Structure 1
Amino acid sequence: MKHEQGFDVTAAEFAPLHHTPQDWRDRFAFRLVKLMRIIPDKFFAKRYGHRAVVLETVAAVPGMVGGLLQHLKAIRHIRDDQGWIKELIEEADNERMHLMTFIEIAQPSKFERFLIMAVQLIFYNAYFFLYLLAPRVAHRVVGYLEEEAVTSYTQYLAEIDAGNIENIPAPQIAKAYWNLPDDARLREVVIVIRQDEAEHRDTNHHFADKIVERAAP
């Protein structure tokens, strides 16, 4: 997503929003996401660039799956999709650009590249059936995943600001996609990606809420 962004923001000034679970479906989605976070936390710890590579592999799946199934549903019911398909496909492409950016930054090992393929294989199939059977829960899962992503990128930014992670020059792919200045660095990349994740968080929680509204008597 190409957007204007101020880069003087600090990690502490960005307040992550949280959707409070309203029923057992929301609680299931929330607990599932918390469970999914355990392995990356243990495996990558504060290696935020490498963590981002694997997590963005997961994040790039839901938009494409949701867009595909919404497309088929719109055709099946011969109705307008109200913009959902475009929004979801754009989300998937945006997450793919996050992945491509962090591939340049982190330079993942062969094992991590294998992990990317394994994670994608497992998550794609699991999410496909989740969205097929329970789209509200699927969107809520993504909303909570994006909440965790915002938290992770906020921690990443704090480590950069503290001098614990080198503020290296931004890769060219990031400067071109987000229209960053020529002298942009890692800090600016983390800020724009965090903003993207916040937008995806809000979009998916909104979609879940709309499904609740449609189901209401």
Structure 2
Amino acid sequence: MHLLTALQLKEPSLLFRLAVIGAQGVFVTLFGFSYIINAKFCHRFVGYLEEEAVKTYTKCLEDIDKPDGPMKHWQTQAAPDVAIRYWKMKPDSTMRDVILAIRADEAHHRIVNHSLASLRKDEFNPYKPGQ
């Protein structure tokens, strides 16, 4: 969803979109094989990636909030429709609101992935579908 929001915001060329789809295809294939070999490692790796994403979005929010910052226009720039629908945001939401929602997603994914990486073989997944 984060990628779809970014794509709607920038509307990149067809070539760029195809490159993104190709890169995702390669990554999903390699990550799938890696997951079969060592799922705990993959969950821990993604947990660390999510930690870095939270830091990145926090920095982005700091840049948005700076009066003379490079991203200050996102304080008032309208959120893309896809983001408003997905996160059930108010119709007048801004890009700053979108970044807050994305950062919250990343923080949740971090917790879930570190939790799954820490499970023992005799433990069950504590999360229900959609949680």
The reply to whether TM is greater than 0.5 is yes
Given candidates 58, 70, 79, the residue that maps to 1:164 is: 70
Whole-angstrom CA distance in 2 between matches of 1:121 and 1:188: 30
Deviation for aligned residue 1:111: 4.4
**For 1:214, what is the secondary structure of its paired residue?**
coil
**Matched residue type, 1:135:** A
**TM-score with structure 1 setting the length:** 0.50
Unpaired runs of at least 5, structure 2 = 123-131
What does residue 203 of structure 1 align with? 112
Root-mean-square deviation over aligned CA pairs: 1.6
**For 2:118, what is the secondary structure of its paired residue?**
helix
What does residue 122 of structure 1 align with? 26
Deviation for aligned residue 1:112: 2.9
**For 1:184, what is the secondary structure of its paired residue?**
coil
What does residue 18 of structure 1 align with? none
**TM-score with structure 2 setting the length:** 0.81
Aligned pairs, how many? 117
Aligned-residue identity in percent: 39
Deviation readout 1:168-197 (Å, 9 max, x if unpaired): 100112112212112110000000110001
Whole-angstrom CA distance in 2 between matches of 1:109 and 1:169: 22
Whole-angstrom CA distance in 2 between matches of 1:208 and 1:159: 33
Whole-angstrom CA distance in 1 between matches of 2:19 and 2:57: 21
**Matched residue type, 1:214:** K
Whole-angstrom CA distance in 1 between matches of 2:21 and 2:86: 24
What does residue 35 of structure 2 align with? 131
Unpaired runs of at least 5, structure 1 = 1-96
